[in-house]
Amino acid sequence: MHEAEVRVELERLRADTPGVAGAFATSPDGLVLAADAPDVEPDGFAALTAAAAAVGVRLTGAAGQGDFRELLLRGDAGGLALYPAGEGCVLTVLAAPGADLPGLRPEARACATRIARHLSPADAQAAPSQPV
């Protein structure tokens, strides 16, 4: 794994995309791969991310909706979105209050694709955004 490169991608997403308050790259089993999210405890958050992504995978499969592609959650003070980033990673994007959460999708998916390439170049070239 290339943790430094993944962290750079997260930092770039937050710096270059209005409305992004932070980002995490986590493994499907709940380990932090890289984080750029001030004021969020990374280990506990990574475990919750893994659980949410697993539910997303199971729900889309059970409903016959194909592979998991994203999960959007909104709260009173912002929102977050989860995206698969290759076989072994989930990208979680934290949105600031008032941010257009679906509008962050193009930049977040592009970031997920780059992260997948950093984590597994051969797999990312064959399929840039596989389900978790």
For residue 44, which amino acid is it?
Answer: G
Structural domains in the chain?
3-124 (3.30.450.30)
Measured distance CA(102)–CA(74) in Å, rounded: 11
What would the mean pLDDT of 34-43 be, rounded to a whole number? 92
Residue 82: predicted pLDDT: 97
Per residue in 77-131, pLDDT (tens digit) is 999 999 999 988 999 999 999 999 999 999 999 999 999 999 875 543 443 344 4
% of the chain surpassing 70 pLDDT: 90
Q: pTM of the prediction?
A: 0.88
pLDDT, position 123: 42
How high is the pLDDT of residue 121? 58
- Contact of 3 with 112, CB cutoff 8 Å: no
Note whether 17 and 106 are within 8 A (CB). Answer: no
Q: Are 129 and 86 in contact (CB under 8 A)?
A: yes
Give the mean model confidence (pLDDT) for residues 27-40. 93
Q: Please name the residues in contact with 19: beta carbons below 8 A apart, sequence gap of 6 or more.
A: 95, 96, 98, 99, 100, 101, 103, 104
Give the C-alpha separation, 33 to 39, whole Å.
Answer: 17
